[in-house]
Amino acid sequence: MLVAIIAAVIAAVIAIVVIAAALAVRSRNTTTSVGAKKDVSELSTVGVGSSPFERRTAAKAAREGEVTVASSESGSSSAKPSDDLTRRFAVLGTTAVAIFGVLSAKLWTMQILGNSAYADAAEQNLYTTVKTPAPRGAIYDTNGVALVANRPSQTVVADPEVADNRDVIRRLSAVLGVPANVVSSRIKDSSAGAQSLRVVADDVRLRDVAFIAEHADAFPGISVEERSTREYPYGALAAHVLGYTSSPSEEQLKQQPDGREILATDVIGSAGVEAYYDSYLSGEHGESKVMVDANGRRISVMSDIKDAKGSDIYLTIDAKAQYVADKALADLIAPRGGVIGTGTGSKGAVVALDVTDGSVLVMASYPTFDPTDFTGGVSTELFDKYMEPEAYAPLNNNVVSGQFMAASTFKAFTSLAGLEYGFATEGSSWNCTGEWDGFGTGDVQKCWKHEGHGTLDLHGGIVNSCDTVFYEIGKAFYDHGPNGTGEISETALQEYLGQFGFGEKTDIDLAGEAVGVIPTPAWKQETFRNRPAEAQFRGGDYTNMIIGQGDVLVTPLQIACAYAGVATGRIMRPHLLKEVKNSAGETVVTYEPQVERTPEVTESHLAYVRDALHGMVQQSHSVGPLFEEIGVDAAGKSGTGEKQNENDTAWFVAYAPYNDPKYVVACVIEQGGGGSDTAAPVVAEVMDALMQSAAGTLNVEVQKVAASPGESIEIAHDSGGRED
């Protein structure tokens, strides 16, 4: 381009010089003509207006050479008219030469200097590269069970120029059962590229494909390709883990991710593992070099590079144990056709971890959805239904995004805090009468057991989940803080709890993780800034927080990770990825376990609390038999969260085997009632499945899990009160 510009400038300079020269010549000729006229005037008296004698004398002188008459070059009146015409032709010729010179220079720049550039432009106009989508990689469980696969889909595609053929559009409409205006708009859609084949319909019936093939003359520019589409063979099984795919949005097409090109014809991960590991799952586009005519129409395919399938993802999920968990939640909450309110609770979650490396073995959330319904785009009707309050948010992953009051599951950590700060010892004891007013304000707080537990030490307080014991510990934190003796900071308790990951993300490999709430004075000031009377952090905030009530919110994943920390003394980062294999079956990525945090806890305190958690399972009249029946020695804790105008939230979390921890399982059922009665049976069932799966004795056939219909009936209110 720069060379062409320079050449054009040179040609212009030459033209200017030539024209200037021509004008100079013309100017000189004009000056000579003026001099000639002057000479003529000087000789005008010769033989004119003189006497006969003078005329004779002049004539004689002329004959004798005494008088010289000016020639045409000196402007003599004897110059011929053709001389002026000659000069005009000279100027015209000079101008023609200049124009010819400019054109020659331009032709030289085009043919010689710009030859390569114009050749490249011509090449680009003649050929174009068309890219085609690639099949995504599959997703497997830890044992190689395919949770997400690809199935062949017969796809009808059209050349772009078919948009101008109304007859073909009408025939396609009749065969495919798609309105003609829809067929036309799909063919006119150039978002995938001007020369790209346009997708008219996918998942076309084989009989329709055969009809088009048999009547090819009636469908010029129409062809059928076998492409792949996402398949979820087990329906809603682990739906919130797997996620779903969709077409890219305009924003995603504009903001291309690093190292990845997204086409309008691609499908991309929109939730779950499909989204988080989209870069692995997406393959490499196929490329075809296509010859086009002057109108941009495809003439022929010059070369073709086949697409490359994406890499396969292997998860840590155990499909059989996952099926047990998904089924247990559905049977508990919505046993009749998936309608919430026909069972116990409104929603729930179960998560199981391998405490040794952080592997997520089970992640179940209810209500749920079928990813198949989102393949190719979810219907407006279903999406709107899922957004209604009575559907209880089927798209929300309650394990990582659900925030629930921690209830008495929190007592394992607040008891460790009490031991650390000396507000409780192994020899401490308290008397529970069922009511407590330690601040002497008249605002009585009750123990869940209204008649009281009597005298208890900390071990007994944990086993029996006595609220009074923990009210005393909470009061001690308040009394030694800024409003009391000032020995500790106003956030000493919160900071200790933070060592177990509360109030922070676990950094699991899924998007949308919630952090929960661990209330602090600053948090309360900000939250209630428009209600100053409620913004002050009081003693009651400590006594509520110490038992996991009040403003405390946690996720089931946080609880599971924190109990893994109690069981082993360290918290591993939870993860779903096991390994990645490329299309050749070679392992290209293997997840390396990472220690997320190591709480600074005195080992003797940990041993004391572990023993109490073990005693809770062994001594509970409802929980003990559950684990005894499956032959598992476990430690754990129940919890029952109270919420105004709703049934209690049921919690249970356990780890096993007690002496050599391997698994931790946590379950929450919102509006489920007592934790020991509602959540503990689910935990025991999932723990049993994990133990049997590890031993190779789990006789479970993984079947398709139904999606929630998005329906519910009024949940019966149970005013029975807390039981743990």
The token pair that represents 133 in the structure block? 């989508």
Q: What is the pLDDT of residues 629-639, one digit of tens each?
A: 999 999 999 99
Q: Indicate the range of 126-130, 180-184, 208-212, 480-484 predicted with least confidence.
A: 126-130
User: Cβ atoms within 10 A of the Cβ of 498, count?
Assistant: 15
pLDDT interval class at 439 (50, 70, 90): very high
The C-alpha atoms of residue 393 and residue 402 are separated, in whole angstroms, by 10
- 8-12, 148-152, 702-706: range with highest mean pLDDT: 702-706
The C-alpha atoms of residue 703 and residue 681 are separated, in whole angstroms, by 22
Q: How far is CA 393 from CA 401, 502, 514, 683, in A?
A: 11, 24, 15, 23
The C-alpha atoms of residue 687 and residue 628 are separated, in whole angstroms, by 12
**Is the pLDDT at 155 greater than 70, yes or no?**
yes
pLDDT of residue 228: 80
Tokens 């000493």 correspond to what residue? 492
Q: How far is CA 472 from CA 428, 452, 598, in A?
A: 11, 15, 28
The C-alpha atoms of residue 585 and residue 266 are separated, in whole angstroms, by 23
The closest of 650, 648, 684 to 409, measured between CA atoms, is 650
pLDDT of residue 631: 97
- 215-219, 256-260, 616-620: range with highest mean pLDDT: 616-620
The C-alpha atoms of residue 640 and residue 652 are separated, in whole angstroms, by 9
pLDDT of residue 102: 64
The residue-averaged pLDDT of 439-454 equals 94
pLDDT of residue 313: 98
Max CA pair span of the chain: 170
The C-alpha atoms of residue 53 and residue 473 are separated, in whole angstroms, by 156
Tell which wins on pLDDT, 684 or 306. 684
**Is the pLDDT at 142 greater than 90, yes or no?**
yes
pTM attached to this predicted model: 0.79
Tell which wins on pLDDT, 188 or 335. 335
Q: What is the pLDDT of residues 500-510, one digit of tens each?
A: 999 999 999 99
pLDDT of residue 227: 77
pLDDT of residue 92: 64
Q: Indicate the range of 43-57, 286-300, 468-482, 685-699 predicted with least confidence.
A: 43-57
Please answer whether residues 343 and 376 qualify as being in contact, where contact means their C-beta atoms are separated by less than 8 angstroms.
no
pLDDT of residue 510: 98
**Is the pLDDT at 436 greater than 50, yes or no?**
yes
pLDDT of residue 46: 39
The C-alpha atoms of residue 349 and residue 371 are separated, in whole angstroms, by 18
Please answer whether residues 424 and 475 qualify as being in contact, where contact means their C-beta atoms are separated by less than 8 angstroms.
no
Find the angle CA(106)-CA(108)-CA(110) to the nearest 5 degrees.
70
User: Cβ atoms within 10 A of the Cβ of 50, count?
Assistant: 13
End-to-end CA distance of the chain: 82
pLDDT of residue 135: 87
Backbone torsion region of residue 339, taken as left when φ is above 0, otherwise alpha when ψ lies between -120 and 50, otherwise beta: beta
pLDDT of residue 69: 41
Tell which wins on pLDDT, 6 or 525. 525
pLDDT interval class at 52 (50, 70, 90): very low
pLDDT of residue 59: 42
Q: What is the pLDDT of residues 185-235, one digit of tens each?
A: 888 877 655 556 788 888 888 888 889 888 888 999 888 877 788 999 999
User: Cβ atoms within 10 A of the Cβ of 536, count?
Assistant: 11
pLDDT of residue 86: 67
pLDDT averaged over every residue in the chain: 85
The residue-averaged pLDDT of 417-421 equals 98
pLDDT of residue 129: 64
Which residues, other chains included, contact 58 with Cβ-Cβ below 8 Å and sequence gap of 6+? Answer: 46, 47, 50, 67
The residue-averaged pLDDT of 318-322 equals 98
- 63-67, 405-409, 533-537: range with highest mean pLDDT: 405-409
Q: What is the pLDDT of residues 360-396, one digit of tens each?
A: 999 999 999 999 999 877 889 999 999 999 999 999 9
Return the SS3 of 347.
strand
Tokens 């089927």 correspond to what residue? 394
Find the angle CA(601)-CA(606)-CA(611) to the nearest 5 degrees.
170
The C-alpha atoms of residue 41 and residue 679 are separated, in whole angstroms, by 131
Q: What is the CA radius of gyration of the chain?
A: 45
Residue count of the chain? 724
Please answer whether residues 225 and 360 qualify as being in contact, where contact means their C-beta atoms are separated by less than 8 angstroms.
no
